[in-house]
Structure 1
Amino acid sequence: MIIYKVENYEEMSKKAASIIASQIIMKPDCVLGLATGSSPVGTYKRLIDLYKEGYVDFSRVTSINLDEYKGLEPTNDQSYRYFMNTNLFNHVNIKKESTFVPDGLELDSDKACREYEEMIESYGGTDLQLLGIGRNGHIGFNEPGPVFVRDTHCEDLTQSTIDANKRFFAKDEDVPHQAYSMGIGSIMKAKKILLIAYGKDKAEAIAKTINGPITPKVPASILQLHNDVTIVADKEALSMI
Protein backbone atom coordinates (compact mmCIF):
# COMPACT_ATOMS: atom_id res chain seq x y z
CA MET A 1 0.00 0.00 0.00
CA ILE A 2 1.37 3.40 -1.04
CA ILE A 3 0.17 6.47 0.87
CA TYR A 4 0.59 10.03 -0.41
CA LYS A 5 0.02 12.75 2.19
CA VAL A 6 -0.97 16.06 0.62
CA GLU A 7 -1.81 19.47 2.05
CA ASN A 8 -5.34 20.00 0.80
CA TYR A 9 -8.15 18.98 -1.53
CA GLU A 10 -6.58 20.67 -4.55
CA GLU A 11 -3.32 18.78 -4.15
CA MET A 12 -5.23 15.53 -3.61
CA SER A 13 -7.17 16.11 -6.83
CA LYS A 14 -4.06 16.89 -8.86
CA LYS A 15 -2.20 13.84 -7.59
CA ALA A 16 -5.14 11.51 -8.18
CA ALA A 17 -5.68 12.91 -11.69
CA SER A 18 -2.02 12.40 -12.53
CA ILE A 19 -2.23 8.74 -11.48
CA ILE A 20 -5.36 8.18 -13.61
CA ALA A 21 -3.86 10.07 -16.55
CA SER A 22 -0.73 7.92 -16.35
CA GLN A 23 -2.89 4.80 -16.52
CA ILE A 24 -4.60 6.07 -19.68
CA ILE A 25 -1.29 7.04 -21.28
CA MET A 26 0.25 3.64 -20.50
CA LYS A 27 -2.81 1.75 -21.72
CA PRO A 28 -5.05 3.87 -24.00
CA ASP A 29 -7.78 1.20 -24.06
CA CYS A 30 -7.85 0.76 -20.31
CA VAL A 31 -10.93 0.10 -18.19
CA LEU A 32 -11.41 2.71 -15.49
CA GLY A 33 -13.60 2.09 -12.47
CA LEU A 34 -15.05 5.46 -11.49
CA ALA A 35 -16.64 6.90 -8.38
CA THR A 36 -19.03 9.72 -7.56
CA GLY A 37 -19.57 12.01 -4.58
CA SER A 38 -17.75 15.17 -3.57
CA SER A 39 -14.29 13.60 -3.30
CA PRO A 40 -13.58 12.98 -7.03
CA VAL A 41 -15.06 16.21 -8.43
CA GLY A 42 -11.71 18.01 -8.35
CA THR A 43 -9.97 14.97 -9.83
CA TYR A 44 -12.38 14.97 -12.77
CA LYS A 45 -11.89 18.72 -13.28
CA ARG A 46 -8.14 18.20 -13.49
CA LEU A 47 -8.58 15.30 -15.94
CA ILE A 48 -10.72 17.56 -18.14
CA ASP A 49 -7.94 20.14 -18.07
CA LEU A 50 -5.37 17.50 -19.04
CA TYR A 51 -7.62 16.41 -21.91
CA LYS A 52 -8.06 19.98 -23.16
CA GLU A 53 -4.31 20.52 -22.93
CA GLY A 54 -3.76 17.48 -25.15
CA TYR A 55 -2.13 15.21 -22.57
CA VAL A 56 -4.91 12.61 -22.26
CA ASP A 57 -7.06 10.88 -24.88
CA PHE A 58 -10.23 9.16 -23.66
CA SER A 59 -11.36 7.87 -27.06
CA ARG A 60 -10.49 4.23 -26.34
CA VAL A 61 -11.22 4.23 -22.61
CA THR A 62 -14.02 2.18 -21.08
CA SER A 63 -15.48 3.31 -17.77
CA ILE A 64 -17.45 1.29 -15.22
CA ASN A 65 -19.05 3.15 -12.35
CA LEU A 66 -19.29 1.79 -8.85
CA ASP A 67 -22.94 2.43 -8.15
CA GLU A 68 -26.27 4.11 -8.81
CA TYR A 69 -29.32 4.94 -6.74
CA LYS A 70 -32.20 2.56 -7.28
CA GLY A 71 -35.22 4.36 -8.70
CA LEU A 72 -33.52 7.43 -10.13
CA GLU A 73 -33.65 8.01 -13.88
CA PRO A 74 -30.43 9.03 -15.69
CA THR A 75 -31.71 12.58 -16.25
CA ASN A 76 -32.34 13.17 -12.54
CA ASP A 77 -29.74 15.67 -11.40
CA GLN A 78 -28.94 13.48 -8.37
CA SER A 79 -28.41 10.28 -10.35
CA TYR A 80 -24.85 9.11 -10.75
CA ARG A 81 -25.22 8.89 -14.54
CA TYR A 82 -26.09 12.60 -14.53
CA PHE A 83 -23.16 13.27 -12.20
CA MET A 84 -20.69 11.50 -14.47
CA ASN A 85 -22.01 13.19 -17.62
CA THR A 86 -21.87 16.61 -15.97
CA ASN A 87 -18.53 16.26 -14.21
CA LEU A 88 -16.54 14.30 -16.81
CA PHE A 89 -18.09 12.54 -19.78
CA ASN A 90 -19.59 15.61 -21.48
CA HIS A 91 -16.21 17.37 -21.42
CA VAL A 92 -13.85 14.72 -22.84
CA ASN A 93 -13.84 12.50 -25.92
CA ILE A 94 -14.93 9.29 -24.23
CA LYS A 95 -17.58 7.35 -26.15
CA LYS A 96 -20.82 7.33 -24.17
CA GLU A 97 -21.52 3.76 -25.27
CA SER A 98 -18.29 2.79 -23.50
CA THR A 99 -19.44 4.23 -20.17
CA PHE A 100 -21.37 1.98 -17.81
CA VAL A 101 -23.48 2.90 -14.79
CA PRO A 102 -25.97 0.54 -13.10
CA ASP A 103 -29.52 0.91 -14.38
CA GLY A 104 -31.34 2.64 -11.55
CA LEU A 105 -34.68 2.29 -13.33
CA GLU A 106 -34.47 -1.52 -13.42
CA LEU A 107 -36.64 -2.38 -10.43
CA ASP A 108 -35.84 -6.09 -10.68
CA SER A 109 -32.80 -6.00 -8.40
CA ASP A 110 -31.62 -9.52 -9.25
CA LYS A 111 -31.71 -8.78 -12.98
CA ALA A 112 -30.00 -5.39 -12.68
CA CYS A 113 -27.21 -6.74 -10.50
CA ARG A 114 -26.67 -9.94 -12.48
CA GLU A 115 -26.37 -8.07 -15.77
CA TYR A 116 -23.98 -5.49 -14.31
CA GLU A 117 -21.77 -8.17 -12.78
CA GLU A 118 -21.68 -10.05 -16.09
CA MET A 119 -20.58 -6.85 -17.81
CA ILE A 120 -17.77 -6.32 -15.28
CA GLU A 121 -16.61 -9.89 -15.74
CA SER A 122 -16.67 -9.52 -19.53
CA TYR A 123 -13.98 -6.84 -19.17
CA GLY A 124 -11.99 -8.86 -16.67
CA GLY A 125 -12.43 -6.23 -13.98
CA THR A 126 -10.99 -2.73 -14.09
CA ASP A 127 -7.40 -1.69 -14.72
CA LEU A 128 -7.72 1.09 -12.16
CA GLN A 129 -10.53 1.52 -9.66
CA LEU A 130 -11.06 4.96 -8.14
CA LEU A 131 -12.65 4.95 -4.68
CA GLY A 132 -13.84 7.46 -2.15
CA ILE A 133 -14.58 6.39 1.40
CA GLY A 134 -17.57 7.00 3.63
CA ARG A 135 -17.30 8.17 7.22
CA ASN A 136 -18.34 4.66 8.26
CA GLY A 137 -15.70 3.06 6.02
CA HIS A 138 -17.98 2.15 3.14
CA ILE A 139 -16.59 1.91 -0.40
CA GLY A 140 -19.04 2.11 -3.24
CA PHE A 141 -22.27 1.52 -1.37
CA ASN A 142 -20.87 -1.47 0.50
CA GLU A 143 -22.08 -0.55 3.96
CA PRO A 144 -20.77 -2.03 7.24
CA GLY A 145 -22.38 -5.39 7.93
CA PRO A 146 -21.82 -8.96 9.11
CA VAL A 147 -20.13 -10.15 5.88
CA PHE A 148 -18.39 -8.82 2.78
CA VAL A 149 -20.79 -8.97 -0.17
CA ARG A 150 -18.88 -10.27 -3.16
CA ASP A 151 -20.84 -9.30 -6.28
CA THR A 152 -22.93 -6.41 -7.53
CA HIS A 153 -25.99 -6.16 -5.31
CA CYS A 154 -28.82 -3.97 -4.08
CA GLU A 155 -27.73 -2.30 -0.86
CA ASP A 156 -29.97 -0.91 1.86
CA LEU A 157 -28.26 2.35 2.79
CA THR A 158 -27.46 3.02 6.44
CA GLN A 159 -28.96 6.03 8.18
CA SER A 160 -25.54 7.70 8.35
CA THR A 161 -25.20 7.44 4.58
CA ILE A 162 -28.75 8.68 4.03
CA ASP A 163 -28.08 11.62 6.36
CA ALA A 164 -24.83 12.44 4.55
CA ASN A 165 -26.70 12.50 1.22
CA LYS A 166 -29.55 14.74 2.39
CA ARG A 167 -27.64 17.90 1.49
CA PHE A 168 -27.87 16.97 -2.19
CA PHE A 169 -31.67 16.66 -2.27
CA ALA A 170 -34.42 19.27 -2.02
CA LYS A 171 -36.44 17.23 0.47
CA ASP A 172 -35.44 14.55 2.96
CA GLU A 173 -38.05 12.17 1.57
CA ASP A 174 -36.39 12.38 -1.87
CA VAL A 175 -33.20 10.71 -0.64
CA PRO A 176 -33.04 7.11 -1.95
CA HIS A 177 -32.74 4.36 0.63
CA GLN A 178 -31.34 1.74 -1.76
CA ALA A 179 -28.59 1.63 -4.37
CA TYR A 180 -27.05 -0.82 -6.79
CA SER A 181 -23.38 -1.22 -6.01
CA MET A 182 -20.36 -3.20 -7.13
CA GLY A 183 -19.58 -5.76 -4.46
CA ILE A 184 -16.32 -6.06 -2.58
CA GLY A 185 -15.25 -8.89 -4.88
CA SER A 186 -16.01 -6.76 -7.94
CA ILE A 187 -13.86 -3.94 -6.56
CA MET A 188 -11.02 -6.27 -5.60
CA LYS A 189 -10.82 -7.56 -9.19
CA ALA A 190 -9.23 -4.24 -10.14
CA LYS A 191 -5.57 -4.46 -11.06
CA LYS A 192 -4.90 -1.19 -9.25
CA ILE A 193 -6.97 0.66 -6.64
CA LEU A 194 -6.76 4.40 -5.98
CA LEU A 195 -8.52 5.68 -2.85
CA ILE A 196 -8.87 9.41 -2.21
CA ALA A 197 -9.93 11.11 1.02
CA TYR A 198 -9.91 14.54 2.59
CA GLY A 199 -11.08 16.17 5.80
CA LYS A 200 -11.13 15.28 9.49
CA ASP A 201 -14.45 13.48 9.17
CA LYS A 202 -12.67 10.74 7.18
CA ALA A 203 -9.75 10.36 9.60
CA GLU A 204 -11.20 7.51 11.67
CA ALA A 205 -12.29 5.57 8.58
CA ILE A 206 -8.85 5.98 7.00
CA ALA A 207 -7.09 4.89 10.19
CA LYS A 208 -9.22 1.76 10.43
CA THR A 209 -8.73 1.05 6.73
CA ILE A 210 -4.95 1.16 7.00
CA ASN A 211 -4.23 -0.09 10.52
CA GLY A 212 -7.39 -1.76 11.78
CA PRO A 213 -8.45 -5.39 11.57
CA ILE A 214 -9.92 -6.60 8.29
CA THR A 215 -13.62 -6.68 9.00
CA PRO A 216 -16.88 -6.16 7.12
CA LYS A 217 -17.72 -3.63 9.84
CA VAL A 218 -15.18 -1.42 8.03
CA PRO A 219 -15.61 -2.45 4.38
CA ALA A 220 -12.55 -0.51 3.17
CA SER A 221 -10.31 -2.57 5.47
CA ILE A 222 -10.44 -5.33 2.83
CA LEU A 223 -8.08 -3.18 0.75
CA GLN A 224 -5.24 -4.38 2.98
CA LEU A 225 -5.44 -7.67 1.05
CA HIS A 226 -5.03 -6.06 -2.40
CA ASN A 227 -1.51 -6.03 -3.83
CA ASP A 228 -1.67 -2.60 -5.50
CA VAL A 229 -3.44 0.10 -3.48
CA THR A 230 -2.58 3.79 -3.52
CA ILE A 231 -4.14 6.21 -1.04
CA VAL A 232 -4.02 9.95 -1.66
CA ALA A 233 -5.28 11.87 1.34
CA ASP A 234 -4.80 15.26 2.94
CA LYS A 235 -3.15 15.73 6.30
CA GLU A 236 -6.48 15.98 8.11
CA ALA A 237 -7.73 12.67 6.72
CA LEU A 238 -4.43 11.11 7.80
CA SER A 239 -4.39 12.82 11.21
CA MET A 240 -5.10 9.58 13.10
CA ILE A 241 -2.33 7.61 11.41
Structure 2
Amino acid sequence: MEVVISSSAEQVDRLAADIVEHVVQSGPAVLGLATGSSPVGTYRELSRRHRENGLSFAQCRAFLLDEYIGVPRAAEQSYFAFIRDNFVDHVDLDGAAVYSPDGEADDIAREAQRYDAAIAEAGGADVQILGIGTDGHIGFNEPGSSLRSRTRVKTLTEQTRADNARFFDSPDEVPHHVLTQGLGTIGEARHLVLIATGESKADAVAAAVEGPLSAFCPASVIQWHPHVSVLLDDAAASALALADYYRYAYASKPRWQRL
Protein backbone atom coordinates (compact mmCIF):
# COMPACT_ATOMS: atom_id res chain seq x y z
CA MET A 1 0.00 0.00 0.00
CA GLU A 2 1.26 3.44 -0.94
CA VAL A 3 -0.07 6.47 0.89
CA VAL A 4 0.34 9.79 -0.94
CA ILE A 5 -0.41 13.01 0.93
CA SER A 6 -0.99 16.12 -1.18
CA SER A 7 -1.42 19.74 -0.20
CA SER A 8 -4.83 20.11 -1.84
CA ALA A 9 -7.87 18.17 -2.99
CA GLU A 10 -7.13 19.31 -6.54
CA GLN A 11 -3.73 17.62 -6.45
CA VAL A 12 -5.37 14.45 -5.16
CA ASP A 13 -7.75 14.54 -8.12
CA ARG A 14 -4.89 15.00 -10.58
CA LEU A 15 -2.97 12.04 -9.16
CA ALA A 16 -6.04 9.80 -9.32
CA ALA A 17 -6.68 10.94 -12.90
CA ASP A 18 -3.05 10.14 -13.78
CA ILE A 19 -3.59 6.55 -12.65
CA VAL A 20 -6.78 6.14 -14.64
CA GLU A 21 -5.28 7.80 -17.72
CA HIS A 22 -2.31 5.42 -17.70
CA VAL A 23 -4.63 2.40 -17.50
CA VAL A 24 -6.89 3.72 -20.28
CA GLN A 25 -3.96 4.48 -22.58
CA SER A 26 -2.49 1.02 -22.04
CA GLY A 27 -5.36 -0.63 -23.95
CA PRO A 28 -9.03 -1.56 -23.54
CA ALA A 29 -9.71 -1.20 -19.83
CA VAL A 30 -12.32 -2.18 -17.30
CA LEU A 31 -12.90 0.68 -14.87
CA GLY A 32 -14.44 0.36 -11.44
CA LEU A 33 -16.27 3.59 -10.70
CA ALA A 34 -17.27 4.85 -7.27
CA THR A 35 -20.03 7.39 -6.73
CA GLY A 36 -20.59 9.93 -3.98
CA SER A 37 -18.61 13.11 -3.45
CA SER A 38 -15.07 11.69 -3.10
CA PRO A 39 -14.36 10.92 -6.79
CA VAL A 40 -16.24 13.84 -8.37
CA GLY A 41 -13.13 15.99 -8.71
CA THR A 42 -11.29 13.12 -10.37
CA TYR A 43 -14.12 12.67 -12.85
CA ARG A 44 -14.02 16.39 -13.63
CA GLU A 45 -10.29 16.19 -14.25
CA LEU A 46 -10.67 13.16 -16.52
CA SER A 47 -13.46 14.93 -18.40
CA ARG A 48 -11.19 17.95 -18.86
CA ARG A 49 -8.43 15.74 -20.24
CA HIS A 50 -10.89 14.18 -22.66
CA ARG A 51 -12.13 17.60 -23.78
CA GLU A 52 -8.78 19.38 -24.00
CA ASN A 53 -6.24 16.59 -24.58
CA GLY A 54 -8.26 13.96 -26.43
CA LEU A 55 -8.09 11.29 -23.74
CA SER A 56 -10.45 8.62 -25.06
CA PHE A 57 -12.56 6.15 -23.10
CA ALA A 58 -14.17 4.65 -26.20
CA GLN A 59 -12.57 1.24 -25.65
CA CYS A 60 -13.46 1.06 -21.96
CA ARG A 61 -16.12 -0.70 -19.98
CA ALA A 62 -17.10 0.27 -16.45
CA PHE A 63 -18.84 -1.18 -13.42
CA LEU A 64 -20.35 0.80 -10.55
CA LEU A 65 -19.82 -0.22 -6.95
CA ASP A 66 -23.40 -0.03 -5.78
CA GLU A 67 -26.98 1.14 -6.20
CA TYR A 68 -29.93 1.97 -3.97
CA ILE A 69 -32.74 -0.57 -3.83
CA GLY A 70 -36.07 0.85 -4.94
CA VAL A 71 -34.77 4.09 -6.48
CA PRO A 72 -35.62 4.29 -10.22
CA ARG A 73 -32.65 4.65 -12.54
CA ALA A 74 -34.19 7.84 -13.94
CA ALA A 75 -34.17 9.47 -10.49
CA GLU A 76 -31.36 11.95 -9.96
CA GLN A 77 -30.46 10.24 -6.66
CA SER A 78 -29.71 6.92 -8.38
CA TYR A 79 -26.09 6.07 -8.97
CA PHE A 80 -27.01 5.07 -12.51
CA ALA A 81 -27.89 8.74 -13.07
CA PHE A 82 -25.07 10.10 -10.89
CA ILE A 83 -22.25 8.54 -12.87
CA ARG A 84 -23.72 9.77 -16.14
CA ASP A 85 -24.24 13.29 -14.83
CA ASN A 86 -20.77 13.51 -13.34
CA PHE A 87 -18.65 11.56 -15.80
CA VAL A 88 -20.05 9.39 -18.59
CA ASP A 89 -21.98 12.13 -20.39
CA HIS A 90 -18.83 14.28 -20.53
CA VAL A 91 -16.53 11.76 -22.23
CA ASP A 92 -16.74 9.25 -25.07
CA LEU A 93 -17.44 6.27 -22.83
CA ASP A 94 -20.41 4.39 -24.29
CA GLY A 95 -23.26 4.54 -21.78
CA ALA A 96 -24.26 1.01 -22.77
CA ALA A 97 -20.84 -0.19 -21.57
CA VAL A 98 -21.37 1.26 -18.09
CA TYR A 99 -22.96 -1.35 -15.87
CA SER A 100 -24.62 -1.02 -12.49
CA PRO A 101 -26.70 -3.25 -10.23
CA ASP A 102 -30.44 -3.07 -10.89
CA GLY A 103 -32.00 -1.86 -7.67
CA GLU A 104 -35.47 -2.41 -9.12
CA ALA A 105 -34.95 -6.08 -10.06
CA ASP A 106 -37.77 -8.44 -9.18
CA ASP A 107 -35.32 -10.86 -7.59
CA ILE A 108 -32.71 -8.76 -5.77
CA ALA A 109 -30.69 -11.73 -4.50
CA ARG A 110 -30.40 -13.15 -8.02
CA GLU A 111 -29.50 -9.70 -9.36
CA ALA A 112 -26.62 -9.53 -6.90
CA GLN A 113 -25.32 -12.88 -8.13
CA ARG A 114 -25.76 -11.84 -11.76
CA TYR A 115 -23.85 -8.60 -11.27
CA ASP A 116 -20.99 -10.28 -9.43
CA ALA A 117 -20.70 -12.81 -12.25
CA ALA A 118 -20.76 -10.06 -14.90
CA ILE A 119 -17.75 -8.37 -13.29
CA ALA A 120 -15.86 -11.68 -13.29
CA GLU A 121 -16.81 -12.38 -16.91
CA ALA A 122 -15.39 -8.99 -17.89
CA GLY A 123 -12.08 -9.99 -16.35
CA GLY A 124 -12.46 -7.80 -13.27
CA ALA A 125 -11.58 -4.13 -12.93
CA ASP A 126 -8.15 -2.95 -14.01
CA VAL A 127 -8.47 -0.01 -11.64
CA GLN A 128 -11.11 0.49 -8.95
CA ILE A 129 -11.82 4.00 -7.68
CA LEU A 130 -12.94 4.04 -4.04
CA GLY A 131 -14.13 6.60 -1.53
CA ILE A 132 -14.41 5.96 2.18
CA GLY A 133 -17.30 6.69 4.52
CA THR A 134 -16.91 8.37 7.88
CA ASP A 135 -17.57 4.97 9.48
CA GLY A 136 -14.94 3.26 7.32
CA HIS A 137 -17.21 1.74 4.70
CA ILE A 138 -16.15 1.27 1.09
CA GLY A 139 -18.83 0.66 -1.47
CA PHE A 140 -21.72 0.22 0.93
CA ASN A 141 -19.96 -2.41 3.01
CA GLU A 142 -20.89 -1.14 6.44
CA PRO A 143 -19.04 -2.05 9.66
CA GLY A 144 -19.48 -5.73 10.37
CA SER A 145 -19.25 -6.75 6.70
CA SER A 146 -17.44 -9.95 5.90
CA LEU A 147 -13.98 -9.28 4.52
CA ARG A 148 -14.64 -11.93 1.84
CA SER A 149 -18.17 -10.80 0.96
CA ARG A 150 -19.58 -10.80 -2.56
CA THR A 151 -22.13 -8.50 -4.20
CA ARG A 152 -25.22 -8.57 -2.03
CA VAL A 153 -27.91 -6.58 -0.19
CA LYS A 154 -26.75 -4.40 2.70
CA THR A 155 -28.67 -2.33 5.23
CA LEU A 156 -27.29 1.19 5.57
CA THR A 157 -26.36 2.51 8.99
CA GLU A 158 -28.12 5.61 10.25
CA GLN A 159 -24.78 7.45 9.96
CA THR A 160 -24.50 6.61 6.26
CA ARG A 161 -28.12 7.58 5.66
CA ALA A 162 -27.49 10.90 7.40
CA ASP A 163 -24.33 11.49 5.36
CA ASN A 164 -26.27 10.86 2.13
CA ALA A 165 -29.36 12.84 3.08
CA ARG A 166 -28.00 15.92 1.29
CA PHE A 167 -28.79 14.23 -2.02
CA PHE A 168 -32.48 13.80 -1.14
CA ASP A 169 -35.31 16.23 -0.44
CA SER A 170 -35.75 14.74 3.02
CA PRO A 171 -33.62 12.46 5.23
CA ASP A 172 -36.63 10.14 5.40
CA GLU A 173 -36.30 9.51 1.64
CA VAL A 174 -32.84 7.94 1.92
CA PRO A 175 -33.26 4.21 1.28
CA HIS A 176 -32.41 1.73 3.99
CA HIS A 177 -31.10 -0.93 1.59
CA VAL A 178 -28.60 -1.11 -1.26
CA LEU A 179 -26.97 -3.56 -3.62
CA THR A 180 -23.21 -3.32 -3.26
CA GLN A 181 -20.11 -5.09 -4.47
CA GLY A 182 -18.66 -7.03 -1.56
CA LEU A 183 -15.24 -6.58 -0.06
CA GLY A 184 -14.13 -9.80 -1.72
CA THR A 185 -15.39 -8.59 -5.09
CA ILE A 186 -13.69 -5.19 -4.72
CA GLY A 187 -10.45 -6.88 -3.73
CA GLU A 188 -10.26 -8.71 -7.06
CA ALA A 189 -9.56 -5.46 -8.93
CA ARG A 190 -5.93 -5.19 -10.00
CA HIS A 191 -5.36 -1.68 -8.61
CA LEU A 192 -7.33 -0.01 -5.82
CA VAL A 193 -7.29 3.79 -5.68
CA LEU A 194 -8.81 5.19 -2.49
CA ILE A 195 -9.54 8.93 -2.54
CA ALA A 196 -10.21 10.88 0.66
CA THR A 197 -10.19 14.60 1.32
CA GLY A 198 -11.27 16.69 4.27
CA GLU A 199 -10.88 16.38 8.03
CA SER A 200 -14.18 14.48 8.37
CA LYS A 201 -12.49 11.45 6.76
CA ALA A 202 -9.32 11.55 8.89
CA ASP A 203 -10.33 9.02 11.56
CA ALA A 204 -11.70 6.55 9.01
CA VAL A 205 -8.53 6.85 6.91
CA ALA A 206 -6.32 6.23 9.94
CA ALA A 207 -8.34 3.16 10.89
CA ALA A 208 -8.19 1.81 7.34
CA VAL A 209 -4.49 2.43 6.77
CA GLU A 210 -2.91 2.00 10.20
CA GLY A 211 -5.51 0.19 12.29
CA PRO A 212 -6.03 -3.54 12.60
CA LEU A 213 -7.51 -5.51 9.73
CA SER A 214 -11.06 -5.71 10.99
CA ALA A 215 -14.66 -5.90 9.87
CA PHE A 216 -15.23 -2.99 12.25
CA CYS A 217 -13.51 -0.83 9.62
CA PRO A 218 -14.35 -2.47 6.29
CA ALA A 219 -11.90 -0.26 4.38
CA SER A 220 -9.04 -1.89 6.32
CA VAL A 221 -9.38 -4.79 3.87
CA ILE A 222 -7.21 -2.76 1.50
CA GLN A 223 -4.25 -3.78 3.69
CA TRP A 224 -4.57 -7.25 2.13
CA HIS A 225 -4.35 -6.02 -1.45
CA PRO A 226 -1.06 -6.11 -3.39
CA HIS A 227 -1.56 -2.79 -5.22
CA VAL A 228 -3.27 0.06 -3.39
CA SER A 229 -2.85 3.82 -3.77
CA VAL A 230 -4.33 5.88 -0.93
CA LEU A 231 -4.56 9.49 -2.11
CA LEU A 232 -5.16 12.08 0.61
CA ASP A 233 -5.05 15.79 1.22
CA ASP A 234 -3.44 17.14 4.39
CA ALA A 235 -6.76 17.25 6.24
CA ALA A 236 -7.69 13.64 5.51
CA ALA A 237 -4.17 12.57 6.55
CA SER A 238 -4.20 14.52 9.80
CA ALA A 239 -4.82 11.49 12.07
CA LEU A 240 -2.10 9.28 10.54
CA ALA A 241 0.72 8.41 12.94
CA LEU A 242 3.17 7.82 10.08
CA ALA A 243 2.23 10.81 7.94
CA ASP A 244 5.80 12.16 7.90
CA TYR A 245 7.11 8.82 6.68
CA TYR A 246 4.52 8.63 3.90
CA ARG A 247 5.54 12.11 2.72
CA TYR A 248 9.23 11.14 2.84
CA ALA A 249 8.64 7.87 1.00
CA TYR A 250 6.73 9.57 -1.81
CA ALA A 251 9.34 12.36 -2.13
CA SER A 252 12.02 9.67 -2.42
CA LYS A 253 10.10 7.58 -4.94
CA PRO A 254 12.19 6.43 -7.95
CA ARG A 255 11.21 8.30 -11.11
CA TRP A 256 10.57 5.05 -12.97
CA GLN A 257 8.11 3.75 -10.37
CA ARG A 258 4.49 4.62 -11.01
CA LEU A 259 1.70 4.80 -8.50
TM-score range, shorter chain: over 0.9
Q: 1-side partners of 2:67 and 2:38: how far apart?
A: 16
Q: Does 1:5 align with 2:5?
A: yes
Contact persistence 1:30–1:62 (CA under 8 A): yes
Moved more, 136-145 or 107-116: 107-116
Please, what TM-score do these two structures have when normalized by structure 2?
0.90
Question: What is the Cα-based RMSD across aligned positions, in Å?
Answer: 1.1
Q: 2-side partners of 1:2 and 1:107: how far apart?
A: 42
Partner-residue secondary structure (3-state), 1:179: strand
Q: Which AA in structure 2 matches 1:100? A: Y
CA displacement at 1:73 relative to structure 2: 1.0
Q: 1-side partners of 2:72 and 2:173: how far apart?
A: 13
Aligned to 1:155: 154
Aligned to 1:98: 97
Aligned to 2:257: none
Contact persistence 1:70–1:107 (CA under 8 A): no
Aligned residues: 240
Q: 1-side partners of 2:65 and 2:212: how far apart?
A: 24
Contact persistence 2:146–2:183 (CA under 8 A): no
Contact persistence 1:71–1:107 (CA under 8 A): no
Q: 2-side partners of 1:4 and 1:37: how far apart?
A: 21
Q: Deviations over 1:7-34 (max 9, x none)?
A: 122111111111111111122x110000
Which runs of 5 or more structure 2 residues have no equivalent in the other structure? 241-259
Q: Quick one: structure 1 residues 118 and 45, their matched pair in 2 at CA, closer, same or farther if it must change by over 3 Å?
A: same
Aligned to 1:47: 46
Q: Deviations over 1:127-147 (max 9, x none)?
A: 000000000100000000163
Q: 1-side partners of 2:9 and 2:129: how far apart?
A: 16
Which runs of 5 or more structure 1 residues have no equivalent in the other structure? none
Q: Deviations over 1:60-105 (max 9, x none)?
A: 1000010000111111000001001101111111111211011111
Aligned to 1:190: 189
Q: Does 1:65 align with 2:64?
A: yes
CA displacement at 1:107 relative to structure 2: 4.1
Runs of 4+ aligned structure 1 residues displaced above 4 Å come to none
Partner-residue secondary structure (3-state), 2:232: strand
